[in-house]
Chains A and B, each alone.
Chain A
Amino acid sequence: MSEPNTAQPVIRAENVYKVFGRRPEAVVERIKAGETRQDVEKEGTAAVIDATFNVYPGEIFVVMGLSGSGKSTVIRTLNALHPATAGTVEVLGQDLSALSPRELRDLRSKHISMVFQHFALFPHWTVIENAAYSLETQGVEKTERYDRAREVLAAVGLKGWEDSYPSELSGGMQQRVGLARALAADTDILLMDEAFSALDPLIRREMQDELKEIQGQLGRTIVFITHDLNEAMFLGDRIAVMKDGRIVQVGTPEQILSEPADEYVASFTADVDRARVLTAEAIMVGEERLTESDRAAFERHQMAVTSNATLQDIVPVVIEANGPIAVESAESGQRIGYIPLGVLLESLTPQRSEVVPDPEEAN
């Protein structure tokens, strides 16, 4: 995982506002003066209010919120599809508001690519033409861009579909084309706007796994928008939770889960699939918590997992051991703790203190 504060941020958003309507600046002033989103409704829609965050090289930064929370608008301020009404957005050290249209296009084609919720493929073009599009806008010559598009298509599992049209593909495959189009550009930054939300749950899982795998190889900087906290927890190195246009908390998945900033965030975490999020390190206990019989059981098997294994990896090991298991550091291999059966079961259910009204009511 990235160590946020040591590197220069790739994206820096500071006090960003985005207001749609006739007099956006006036709305920003009124909100700064303390009025709420509802107060200014007639003047304009305040989609994003005072958003401040940094995105560091190589991390997956997830922005998560319900519909209408402003998350899709936030991502569009990062490549100025919706230029910020107030505040600063810096990408790779360049202030977006200071760029000419031409410089902005240049920045987009060379450094930022985007994956869309409903794929946004060009229906009149074949798969390979779609995948090569990002290279075309970069001015890459035809044979080279087709070669590279072919490679990327193969990497996302679409070998053999190059000459099909998007309408001949399933939703999951179409989004692979969308992903290929974005990856082919070889940009530092990848913006993914609810990229997997329109897919079936099974396909979605598959794509999430694949994205993690691809990210492991390529190490891009990814901003990922989602309304699904499980997805956010699974993919995100860090997560920003949005509500009513404001960012209410930024933190690692475990921080969000264990120290929710307010009741709203807590209400979300209540139904998170903990098995995919919590790691051995987060739930392990020290040797002193083991009972005599635990120790005896452990001595018979001596089974262990690494510290970054998730609960879903741990459960089968515990079943096989039929008793406590050890946790070894992913880096050094040293034994750093234990997981008895009771602790594992406890970790799968939300803590009593975390149980709060469901998201619908909290909303």
Chain B
Amino acid sequence: MEIPVPRIPLGDWVEVALDWILTVLGGFFTFIRTILVGAYDLLLWLLTTPEWWIVTLVLAALGWWLRNWQLAVGTVIGFVIIVGVNQWANAMSTLALVTIATLIAVIFAIPLGILAAKSQTASKVLRPLMDFIQTMPPMVYLIPALVIFRVGVVPGMVATVIFAMAPGVRFTELGIRSVDREVVEAGKAFGSPPGKILRQIQLPLAMPTIMAGVNQVIMLSLSMVVIAGMVGAGGLGGEVVASLNRINAGLGFESGLAVVILAMYLDRLTSMQSKANER
């Protein structure tokens, strides 16, 4: 026997909603777009105006300062390879995109994580929301982002921010919740106000966990880069998409390798693992 299920016009609703959002909030989105494009252009200009070896040395020095000399050496080798496969410009535009996307994701994720740690209700609302945005196929975000922000680097960036934000929220919540209860109690017992307890005790003690979350955000951002390439974000993602369209295995491998090198650099730079080993 056949049980008739009425067709749910979910797709139509989404489109109507999107139209409505565009007419009501169009000006706001233009504003966002301008800011994001401006930030991206500025960072890209900083990364591409000097000679490639100057940028490489600066990034290597950053690695040395934050971590150790091994990372500095690795950085030089890796970036020379990127230049060798003729992907320098693309790699820098990807680096700029990932950096800005990560910054925005972290700016949203940490306060949300703090909120979730403080309020049981917020935690209950945010958990399924984070599940949703993290498991939804990331390309789905591209379509509305494309409609709202038009072709270019911005829709890729926005989709990346949304997709990559979840671990930032989760790790922040986890980090704050797992601070020793007695230590937080000590803050209260001596009469410290909640904001000060957060700033002086909870956030510093949760920092290793929060940084692990930031590291995850960066890795997810990078994994979005290729998808963002489909909507004209350019960079290494654009190269991968182009090589796919032309069935060009050589180009695909070269740009793919550059993504891997960037990923390794950013991971080592931000993971707490290497710092723990030093002690």
A residues in contact (CB < 8 Å) with B: 79, 81, 104-110, 112-114, 116-118, 120-124, 133-134, 137-138, 181, 185, 191
CB–CB A116/B205 < 8 A: no
Closest to B183 in A: A120
Interchain residue pairs A-B with the least CB separation, the first 6? A109-B191, A108-B191, A120-B186, A120-B182, A114-B189, A105-B191
B185 within 8 A of A: yes
Closest to B188 in A: A81
CB–CB B191/A122 < 8 A: no
Q: Given A116-B185, A116-B186, A117-B182, is A123 in contact with B192 using a C-beta cutoff of 8 Å?
A: no
Residues of A within 8 A of B185 (CB): 81, 116, 120
Q: List 6 A-B contacts (CB under 8 A).
A: A81-B188, A109-B191, A114-B186, A118-B180, A118-B182, A134-B190
B111 within 8 A of A: no
A38 CB → nearest B CB, Å: 27
CB–CB B205/A105 < 8 A: no
Residues of B within 8 A of A113 (CB): 189-190
CB–CB B190/A114 < 8 A: yes
Closest to B180 in A: A120
B55 within 8 A of A: no
CB–CB A124/B204 < 8 A: yes
CA distance A138 to B183 in the complex (A): 18
Q: Given A81-B185, A116-B185, is A122 in contact with B190 using a C-beta cutoff of 8 Å?
A: no
B193 within 8 A of A: yes
Extra pairs beyond A108-B190, A112-B189 (15, CB < 8 Å)? A81-B185, A107-B191, A109-B190, A109-B191, A110-B191, A114-B186, A116-B182, A118-B180, A118-B182, A120-B182, A120-B186, A122-B205, A123-B205, A124-B205, A181-B190
CA distance A122 to B196 in the complex (A): 14
Closest to A80 in B: B188
CB–CB A137/B183 < 8 A: no
Residues of B within 8 A of A109 (CB): 190-192
Residues of A within 8 A of B183 (CB): 120-123
Q: Given A120-B180, A122-B201, is A185 in contact with B190 using a C-beta cutoff of 8 Å?
A: yes
Residues of B within 8 A of A133 (CB): 190
CA distance A114 to B204 in the complex (A): 22
CB–CB A79/B205 < 8 A: no
Closest to B186 in A: A120
Closest to B184 in A: A120
B186 CB → nearest A CB, Å: 4
Flag B169-201 by CB within 8 Å of A: 1 or 0 each: 000000000001011011011111100100011
Closest to B192 in A: A137
CA distance A110 to B189 in the complex (A): 11
B27 CB → nearest A CB, Å: 42
CA distance A112 to B196 in the complex (A): 19
